[in-house]
Structure 1
């Protein structure tokens, strides 16, 4: 066991108590869902407040408060839900869990939890040189829906679905099966589980050879990772393996670890730290209407998918969208009948683990100091958002009414669950997942000509393993030694935009450094600072697109080139060599002229997880950008 001699229940209490303000408050203050000081019970919330609550737009919040909602309130809302004794009894029996959270208006928030009580696997073993198939069943899976009043930490709506068994098939290639057999023979697995043929287990792969995983000193395309879910005495444990696939004929397993959980602070452990209320509110409050539930859960525990028409007009915008084979959902848009961008999508999310200290470097220099495809840390996933592995899919369109000084608008909500089974991600939504890897990739359009891309990631992925490594390495220095704390986890979400500000013939490019405007002649890569602006305008008209920059944004501007990965229907989208050679958009920068040319703008949205004020296990980490139009 990774945590020594203490039990899972004891470990859950210790980690939750060490997990920051939210966990401490949960342990000290919870014990009922009503605040006796205001005299208003959960059942007495005015109906109009519930009925008119809708999903909240980013611009409803000032001063970064939208990000704070997801960083702090998600965990607090889940803790509130877990105070209900009916919810506690249910979650306490789960073998795994998946949670979703969204901010609503009217000081409300919506939460869903789902999980099964057991795991059943009917597998084919290790047939020599043949494909393997595993029939996996999450038994008695249920979903809890709740709406929480965030001013009072009070449950105002609650619903629990009936249990159901959900099954799916995991198919493994002969190559993967051979590696799986070697993982079973590893000393760590033998010590933990003995004869695996007597246990129920199944594998999940995030690539082997041919993937875009960077591992240790291996270039991407040569590293691979695998997870095996193992049922052990009624609980779920994780075998995490790293693979050197640089020689496809002789792959080598270079590390195997046993983890007692795939994620930090799962509800199945958090529930152990929370004192239940005296009575459940399940029969005292209304259920949760479908339109107020998170899109990442539906009645059957899958996604709720309500995709809009592939082209539509709303709030002065005309939008077209389509699925792209390896780059998510591609969106094109015009505003007031004039083009804004021909194509925009999110080609890559970088998830890096155990990096050296950043020391002021930009992400290209920090991630790839040798200017090639070898990552500077221990593990990097180049998630290319392929529809073959867990998405992405366009889940739906959320409409925002005009409120106060925020105009009306809408959000296109897309997602990516890396290595999940199918676009419905039924394994993830049963709590049996390859780390969380739940990326929300959304786009908000407003009637005043503002456009906001949003990246949200849920959960810490392989943080469990690398947190252990931090602790182990720190112990080796002893008294009087020095220790440089590594960056355990770091994200970069990329947005690639083929900008067309009122014209499809080429743009004028300007930069504002806080003091003066300049017009760069050639392609460039720039770290953002507060006060900077990148401007793209119509040389023969008034239309302009401004992108304000900050220190958590970087920008790459390159001439449109069909030999490079980009947001449109470039041939490079379908060329594996182009994908394998791409390690950072800055590598495309050379001396090509950009003034009067069609350009692709790469916006790099940086997620410094190690700087988050609360533990990342149950929280959402959010980063956004903003494009503003004028002259339309």
Structure 2
């Protein structure tokens, strides 16, 4: 081996380390299987050949959770999304486009036939026209995301190769943000904050626009300011800074609505940890693009979030239908996500099931074996133990769109036929189509996929998926800046940067609407709880709800990442469906509510109608789940028998 050969090999390995092992794309891998590669200087004008059976592409469809064992579905979203993104960015046509973006948004889905679908989209610039700020009766910010494009790709996940690729034409995306006089006062205070002036000088001389969750709100808790539920708020400003768009994030004490105060302001370079344009810059693209060598990506195989020229593909099912033994009725999302009522084989299963909120907490103390109520709210009140908490809502507008589609699953191997009700929410993004988020300006809002999978054998899987970003980069930055302070007595322990809990609420009706019998299995024996309870799950545990006068039974197997709250049905308490109280609408309730466990008292439950809260815990701090480049997925399981 010559010195030049050695240098070339080392250079390649360095590039592979930067770009990941997915730097290979179809026909362009440096180590093609059984084929010799061409030197770039010997390349022809012909695009690289791609050999994929047409039937494999044509029959690929969205995969169900039960098609995977060993929790591989969850692993796919945690690991493969980043690999698919990098595979796409290794194509020179894609890399050239994405490298010029100032924001970005990624969408990913697992397909059958060992394929996956990925999309990237973003703009090259942001412009803002401002009228009325800071002293008008109303301020108006007309925002334009310039030249937004969407890249769609199908990836062979066994070989990290692009097998279909399509790039849309550039288009300008416009939206308008308005501010009240009160919001302008807060906005001016943020612009005059020392941290902001040190970073930007006079922001009014730049293009910028604000977004808000309000000075006070029923879904914000600022433990950093020792503020109760509803007394804190957040504000986010996107600011053009040269060739980049940077972020100002401010926390607001709104306990005195007439005199709000800025608790903290931070300046951030990016909305997510690994923006697509920075990943593109770190990857050495292949010598030739496969854009002309592979087919386009059909709309039906694109991610639902972006399939329609960067917008959602929205094809909701009928609001009542029958399939695979299930009778389903659903109502659109208000604040609690899509509400579903279900029967199986002609007998009721639940009158209502939805997601009243998702806990999203930042910068928490170590958990130390506590349940979520004790950990989040150690004083058993609405003050959060960490810096920032959202009781995030799931509404159709703003931050929709809500119900997207019904996905049908044929029987496959040992998995029976079934279907998924798929819904999607960008909490606090602009409009039902979340046009700011989908244009790459996404700091602050969230990205939740709430799905329910129903199968013909009586199994139901509620599935929670998060892609972020929310405020995670702000707290990652805080941890990095404070790293020296986490050492004590020779040990090192960081705060928990971010933690999720998806709160599913079920008005359960196992074959009857007159009340239920309840049993608990602890792994060794069955017991009969007499009153309301809050239970931390462990492997082997089962909560059983059955018809006292019939054969119908509903089992909920538990794990150590699930908690269960069972309480009497009470119209004054927040819960699923129309009977229960609704957050943000029933006066005073949002500021009093903090955790479903607060409803547990000595009320008897045997033979009564009960509400079951299934708390699905998202411990994303235990393993890196960078927002945007990975999805965190967790699921529950509900099993029917005797129907």
Equivalenced residues, count = 612
* Cα shift at 1:171: 2.0
Instruction: Tell me which residue corresponds to 2:40.
Output: none
Match of 1:559 in 2: 568
> In the alignment, which of 120, 124, 144 is matched to residue 137 of structure 1?
144
Aligned equivalents of 1:121 and 1:132: distance in 2?
12
Structure 1 residue 624 and structure 2 residue 626: aligned? no
Question: Contact 2:22–2:87 (CA<8 Å) still a contact in 1?
Answer: no
1:95 touches 1:117 (CA, 8 Å); kept in 2? yes
Equivalent residue for 1:327? 336
Larger gyration radius, structure 1 or structure 2: 2
The match for 1:33 is 26
Equivalent residues of 2:24, 2:87 under 8 A apart: no
The alignment partner of 1:188 has SS state of: helix
User: Structure 2 vs 1, CA of residues 514 and 27 (structure 1 numbering), >3 Å: closer, same or farther?
Assistant: closer
Measure how far apart 1:581 and its partner are: 1.1
- Could you tell me whether the CA contact under 8 Å between 2:420 and 2:454 is conserved in 1? yes
Cα distance in 1 between the residues matched to 2:302 and 2:618: 26
- Kindly indicate whether the alpha-carbon contact (under 8 Å) linking 1:523 and 1:591 is maintained by their aligned counterparts in 2: yes
Deviations 1:387-413 (A, max 9, x none): 443025101111111101001111111
Partner of 2:588: 577
2:620 is equivalent to residue 609 of structure 1: yes
- Whole-Å separation in 2 of the counterparts to 1:508 and 1:629: 15
Give the secondary-structure state (helix, strand or coil) at the position aligned to 1:346. Answer: strand
Is 2:272 the counterpart of 1:267? no
- By how many angstroms is 1:386 displaced? 3.5
Alignment CA distance shift 1:25-1:312 (3 Å) = farther
Report the alpha carbon displacement of residue 30 of structure 1 after superposing the two structures with TM: 1.7
Note the C-alpha offset of 1:122.
1.3
Bigger Cα displacement from structure 2, 24-33 vs 81-90? 24-33
Q: Aligned-pair distance for 1:276?
A: 0.2
**Residue 477 and residue 424 in structure 1: after superposition, are their counterparts in 2 closer, same or farther (change >3 A)?**
closer
Contact kept, 8 Å, 2:522 with 2:542, in 1: the verdict is yes
> Which of residues 29, 44, 57 in structure 1 aligns to 2:64?
57
**TM superposition score normalised by structure 2:** 0.92
- The Cα of 1:555 is off from its aligned counterpart by 0.3
Question: Are 1:91 and 2:98 an aligned pair?
Answer: yes
Between the aligned partners of 1:267 and 1:187, the Cα distance in structure 2 is: 31
Confirm or deny that 1:194 pairs with 2:204.
no
Give 1:193 shift: 1.4
What does 1:77-156 align with in structure 2 at a 5 Å threshold? 77-128=84-135, 130-156=137-163
CA distance in 1, matches of 2:313, 2:232: 34
Aligned-partner Cα distance in 2 for 1:48–1:446: 26
Q: Give the secondary-structure state (helix, strand or coil) at the position aligned to 1:53.
A: coil
TM-superposition CA deviations, 1:234-264 (whole Å, max 9, x none): 2110011111111000000011111011111
Query: Structure 1 residues 409, 478: closer, same or farther in 2, change over 3 A?
Result: closer
Q: CA deviation at 1:337?
A: 1.0
Q: 1:154 deviation in Å?
A: 0.3
For residue 228 of structure 2, give the secondary structure of its aligned residue in structure 1. strand
Q: CA separation in 2, counterparts of 1:33 and 1:528?
A: 45
The answer to whether the 8 Å contact 1:27/1:273 transfers is no
For residue 183 of structure 2, what is the aligned residue in structure 1?
176
Residue equivalent to 1:13 = none
Contact kept, 8 Å, 2:77 with 2:633, in 1: the verdict is yes
1:539 aligns with 2:548: yes
Matched, 1:276 2:260: no
Between 432-441 and 490-499, report the one with greater CA deviation.
Answer: 432-441
Matched, 1:438 2:447: yes
Point out the more displaced range, 611-620 or 299-308.
611-620
Q: Deviation of residue 466 (structure 1)?
A: 1.3
* Shift in Å, 1:300: 2.9
Alignment of 1:588 onto 2:595: no
Deviation at 1:549, TM superposition (A): 0.2
How far has the Cα of 1:294 moved from its partner? 0.5
Deviates more, 1:81-90 or 1:171-180: 171-180
CA distance in 2, matches of 1:447, 1:146: 32
CA distance in 1, matches of 2:517, 2:489: 57
With over 3 angstroms needed to count, the CA separation of the structure-2 counterparts of 1:73 and 1:477, relative to structure 1, is closer
Could you tell me whether the CA contact under 8 Å between 1:437 and 1:459 is conserved in 2?
yes
Q: Distance in 2 between matches of 1:110 and 1:577?
A: 44
2:34 and 2:54 mapped to 1: Cα distance?
18
2:56 aligned counterpart, secondary structure = helix
CA distance in 2, matches of 1:386, 1:280: 41
Q: Distance in 1 between matches of 2:486 and 2:556?
A: 46
Establish whether residue 597 from structure 1 lines up as the match of residue 608 from structure 2.
yes
Aligned twin of 1:205: 212
Q: Map residues 156-171 of structure 1 onto 2, 5 A cutoff.
A: 156-171=163-178
Aligned-partner Cα distance in 2 for 1:559–1:39: 67
Partner-residue secondary structure (3-state), 2:255: coil
TM-score by length of 1: 0.94
Question: Which whole-Å CA distance do the structure 1 matches of 2:445 and 2:284 have between them?
Answer: 27
In the alignment, structure 1 residue 369 sits paired with structure 2 residue 365 = no
Residue pair 1:33, 1:83 contacting (<8 A) in 2 also: no
Instruction: Pick the aligned partner of 2:518 from 505, 509, 525.
Output: 509
**Could you tell me whether the CA contact under 8 Å between 2:503 and 2:615 is conserved in 1?**
yes
Residues 228-237 or 428-437, more deviating:
428-437
- Judged with a 3 Å threshold, the aligned counterparts in structure 2 of structure 1 residues 343 and 545 are, in CA distance, closer, same or farther, namely same
Paired residue secondary structure (1:389): coil
* Cα separation, partners in 2 of 1:520 and 1:479, compared to 1, 3 Å: closer
Q: Is the CA contact 1:75–1:619 (under 8 Å) kept in the aligned structure 2?
A: yes
Residues 527-536 or 387-396, more deviating: 387-396
Give the distance between the partners of 1:241 and 1:411, measured in 2 at CA.
39
**Contact 2:458 2:640 survives alignment (8 Å):** yes
Gaps of 5+ in 1: 1-16
Which sits farther off after the overlay, 35-44 or 93-102?
A: 35-44
Distance change (3 Å), C-alpha of 1:23 and 1:166: farther
Q: 1:427 to 1:566 in 2, by over 3 A?
A: same
1:68 alignment partner in structure 2:
75
Please say if residues 543 and 629 of structure 1, whose CA atoms lie closer than 8 Å, have aligned partners that are also in contact: yes
Aligned 8 A contact 2:504 2:614 in 1: yes
